[in-house]
Amino acid sequence: MLERVLPACVACSETRSDLPDAKLFPEELALVERAVEKRRTEFTTARHCARLALAELGFPPGPIPMGAKGAPCWPPGVVGSITHCDGYRGCAVAPAADLAAIGIDAEPDTPLPAGVLADIADSEEASRLAALRRRQPGISWDRLLFCMKEAIYKAWYPLAQSWLGFEDATVSIDPTGRTFEAQLRVPGPTVAGHPLNRLSGRWIAGEGLLLATVALPRSEREPARF
């Protein structure tokens, strides 16, 4: 699914089930040694996917450490993102010469728990979601918005090295083109010579899964090619 919503320069790996042969390097094992079994299994399979994706870029197998805020630490010259949810693990990586950032997030295509939408959406976004539900009720639009904001944050943080709350990005969804646009409400870093104040992405729904991606081109003169 990832290949359908990311540029051609991105290497992807994904699986719908955990892989019993997947192993962690000692440095990675230390990161989850106190975690519950479910968390360790998700982490292990996701790191395995990351190594498969990095291999497509020519990198040998190696540990993928975790930064101070939990984000993966990629080899020099690489940008990437990892996601996992019930029934899905995936990773996307690309040369930093091609993309400034990648953010991906997967979520089950089920409604958010009661009360959560008020924490992630402003009144304008909530109104747009209601219209989308009336127009196309087969998709959990509230969960999709959450998925998009997670992908936005994952692309934002490596560039800005600062928090981006749900309230700091206003998202509009195109249900026909399966794209989305985010207007950022906080000052952003400079990318391609311009302040980062907007992010765009693509999304897909299918097989009980929602997937949102953000791929920020390194240069405005060289847009990402799908």
Per-residue tens of pLDDT for the chain, all 226 residues: 999 999 999 999 999 999 888 999 999 999 999 999 999 999 999 999 999 999 999 999 999 999 978 899 999 999 999 999 999 999 999 999 999 999 999 999 999 999 999 999 999 999 999 999 999 999 999 999 999 999 999 999 999 999 999 999 999 999 999 999 999 999 999 998 889 999 999 999 999 999 999 999 987 655 555 4
Q: Compute CA distances 202 → 6, 53, 61, whole Å.
A: 8, 20, 29
* Chain mean position to CA 155: 7
Angle subtended at Cα 143 by Cα 173 and Cα 172, rounded to the nearest 5 degrees: 15
Residue 225 domain-assigned?
no
CATH of the domain at 18: 3.90.470.20
Q: Structural domain of residue 115, as residue ranges? A: 2-217
Domains identified in the chain, total number: 1
Residue 123 domain-assigned?
yes
* C-alpha torsion angle, residues 22, 44, 76, 146 (rounded to 10): 130
Residue 223 domain-assigned?
no
Q: Confirm whether pTM is higher than 0.75.
A: yes
Residue 73 domain-assigned?
yes
Residue 226 domain-assigned?
no
